Amino acid sequence: MARVVVDVMLKPEILDPQGQAVQGALARLGHSDITSVRQGKRFELEVETADAAALEQIASTLLANTVIEDYSIHVEEH
């Protein structure tokens, strides 16, 4: 059994309005030293076997919109 973590983030060239809103709220709370915030998604999958090709297909076709998002896959063995 393994846990697979897929982190999905907007590509750097894509505007992130939610991240900008969080950054603005942080500044209003006195945290003006934070210069950038990017919002993303994290998926955790429990799998019997960590088939790299299958995980790549799942991430690229279902979990991420590869036109505007990048993703990374991390396998944590139990």
- Binned at pLDDT 50, 70 and 90, residue 63 comes out as very high
- Binned at pLDDT 50, 70 and 90, residue 22 comes out as very high
- How does pLDDT run across 38-58, given as a tens digit for each residue? 999 999 999 998 899 999 999
- Above 80 in pLDDT, residue 77? no
Task: Kindly state the average pLDDT of the residues 53-66.
Answer: 98
46: left (phi over 0), alpha (psi -120 to 50) or beta: beta
pLDDT value of position 24: 97
Domain CATH code at residue 55: 3.30.1280.10
Q: Into how many domains does the chain fold?
A: 1
Domain span at residue 45 reads: 2-77
d(CA 7, CA 17): 19
- Binned at pLDDT 50, 70 and 90, residue 78 comes out as low
